[in-house]
Amino acid sequence: MSTTTSAQLAAEQPLPILILDFDGTVCLGDGPVLAYAEAVADQIPKAAQKTLHQGLASFLAEDPNAPSYKDGYAAVAALAEGHLNSAGRHHAYLASRQRLAEGTVEIDAPDGLAGFLDSLDGVAFRLLLTNAPLNGVQESLSKLGLSNSVDLIIPDARKPAGFTDLLPILLANKAPYELLSVGDVWSNDIDLPAREGCATAFIDRFEHRTGAATLRAPRFELLYDAISDWAHDPAAFISTQPSMSTLLSEKAPQ
């Protein structure tokens, strides 16, 4: 099924749409990015391997002296810069996803996520929207006990640019505040939906304070109650958010 067709299916159903990112949001743990780093390291000189592993470890440990990157994958790419081209990095990424599919990478889910998402069954349409390929995503959801906790998966979403095409489809029959996007990379998951008047929930693990979001917390589970309030009555929820209350009139569907 194409990305456009999947988005149309999500748009045609009557419930508000909860967009969920995968890596760093639904699927936690540094295992996937460490697998990516290992696959990158296999292709670069030994001296560069040491720099890569040390730099990534400092970033993931939230060392205040470590450079700031938008996520671990960006850290690996930056630390390997000059030693590996984009084709090599893509090869490494696919290799790490295959390991994820095989179940050899350690992962976890946010506390109580299955119960939270299950409580939204029939209340919100739970759309997993990820830049990752499908390989590794379905297997991980099964491993985490989340296979039945999402309604639809759209892989290879090309966020943030992909939102430019997806949001008009998803919002064809809905007011923007009837869509809430959750994610841990502000530029990928939050920025464009927020610009369109959608509700957003930023999981700011590294306290980047990158930009505005309707909701913000360092861990997903701290956002469950507020997201549930939104799902049960998006208009009422948005009316309580000072930065977004005007969107009820400005962005209402015609």
**SS3 letters across the chain:** CCHHHHHHHHHHCCCCEEEECCECCCEECCHHHHHHHHHHHCCCCHHHHHHHHHHHHHHHCCCCCCCCCCCHHHHHHHHCCCCCCHHHHHHHHHHHHHHHHHCCCCCECCCCHHHHHHHCCCCCEEEEECCCCCCCHHHHHHHCCCCCCCCEEECCCCCCCCHHHHHHHHCCCCCHHHEEEEECCHHHHHHHHHHCCCEEEEECCCCCCCCCCCEEECCHHHHHHHHHHHHHCHHHHHHCCCCCCCHHHHCCCC
**Does CATH place domain 3-28+108-250 in 3.40.50.1000?**
yes
CA angle, 51 as apex, 44 and 53 as ends, to 5°?
Answer: 85
Predicted local distance difference test score (pLDDT) of residue 210: 77
Which of 84, 103, 107 has the alpha carbon at shortest distance from 37?
Answer: 84
Predicted local distance difference test score (pLDDT) of residue 211: 85
Q: How far apart are CA 103 and CA 92, in angstroms?
A: 17
Predicted local distance difference test score (pLDDT) of residue 251: 42
Q: How far apart are CA 117 and CA 1, in angstroms?
A: 24
Q: What are the residue ranges of CATH 3.40.50.1000 in the chain?
A: 3-28+108-250
Q: How far apart are CA 248 and CA 239, in angstroms?
A: 7
Average pLDDT value for the chain? 92
Predicted local distance difference test score (pLDDT) of residue 206: 73
Which of 144, 151, 145 has the alpha carbon at shortest distance from 124?
Answer: 151
Which of 198, 206, 80, 187 has the alpha carbon at shortest distance from 131?
Answer: 187
Predicted local distance difference test score (pLDDT) of residue 161: 96
Low-confidence ranges of the chain (pLDDT < 50): 245-254
Q: To which residue do tokens 């696919």 refer?
A: 94
In this structure, are residues 202 and 186 in contact, taking their beta carbons and an 8 Å threshold? yes
Predicted local distance difference test score (pLDDT) of residue 244: 61
